[in-house]
Amino acid sequence: MLCHDVVMPDFVSSASEGRPVLLVVDVADGGRIDPGFEIELQELTAGVVEAATELGFAVDRVPAAQAGPEELLRRLRVADAVVVTGGEDVDPSFYGGRLDDPRLGQTFPDADRAQIALIREAVAARVPTIGICRGMQIVNVALGGDLVQHIEDGAHVGLGSGDESMVDHVVAIDADSAMAKLLGATEFEVRSSHHQAIDRPADALVVVGRSDDGVIEAVEHESAPLWCVQWHPEDPGSKGSVLPDLLRGALGAIRDR
């Protein structure tokens, strides 16, 4: 359902009955130029919610643009783990990029600001955090890195919307990385839909995965329980068990806290 005047739901309450709370943060409810993209993003977020619920999480899903920094931080205080999902371009003003780049898509600066505050606090508090696609990009920006504003050859996004925007390709993961241990493999056929990517990684992030053309596809934090992938493991056409494996990793980190 598309909604422009959003009433923020309250916290996941006692209905969670002792289940770990997963804060799922996407960009916005409404306000998009392309309503088809809105539907696609909500379907992808629904995939995250479904996978998390099946693993026993109580999910608290919040649109960052409507929530704002204070509300996201309030919800983080009662969350056990966080997933930051995909969406529009990160506003270049947050990483020193070109504001006049002609390939720049729609941005939601209020969402960026709120997610940056959330990510910094989650890392500082060692709350297990997963970033997906744009979620990986905003994690990098939040921690001091920057982005490639446009991948020139278009090899990571298809023409069209929905399933037509997804491109299948291979990603190799560093065998010595924590992510390889979580996922149980070092090579994956993945589904991507992005025209931006990490350029300079933040100092605290370790690059652990790339595609054949050298694009950074996976990072993890040097010490905090944070793992990010540039592709869409929540897409219905995705192969393997990357998303549930990452969520299981978050559950393990919750137990270790």
Q: pLDDT by residue (tens digit) across 122-132?
A: 999 999 999 99
Reported confidence tier of residue 60, pLDDT bands at 50, 70, 90: very high
pLDDT of 30 strictly over 70: yes
Q: Which domains does the chain have, with CATH numbers?
A: 19-256 (3.40.50.880)
pLDDT of 11 strictly over 70: no
Active site residues: 133, 232, 234
Task: State the residue for tokens 């003003």.
Answer: 93
**Are the beta carbons of 180 and 155 closer than 8 angstroms?**
no
pLDDT tens digits for 149-200?
A: 998 776 776 565 555 677 888 999 999 999 999 999 999 999 888 889 999 9
pTM of the full structure: 0.92
Q: List, as one string, the DSSP characters of the chain.
A: ---SSPPPPPPP-GGGTTPPEEEEEES-SS--S-HHHHHHHHHHHHHHHHHHHHTTPEEEEEEHHHHHHHHHHHHHTT-SEEEE---SBPPGGGTT--TT-TT---B-HHHHHHHHHHHHHHHHTT--EEEETHHHHHHHHHTT--EES--TT-TTS-SSSGGGG-EEEEEEE-TTSHHHHHHT-SEEEEEE--S-EESS--TTEEEEEEETT--EEEEEESSSSEEEESS-TTSTT--SSHHHHHHHHHHHHHHH-
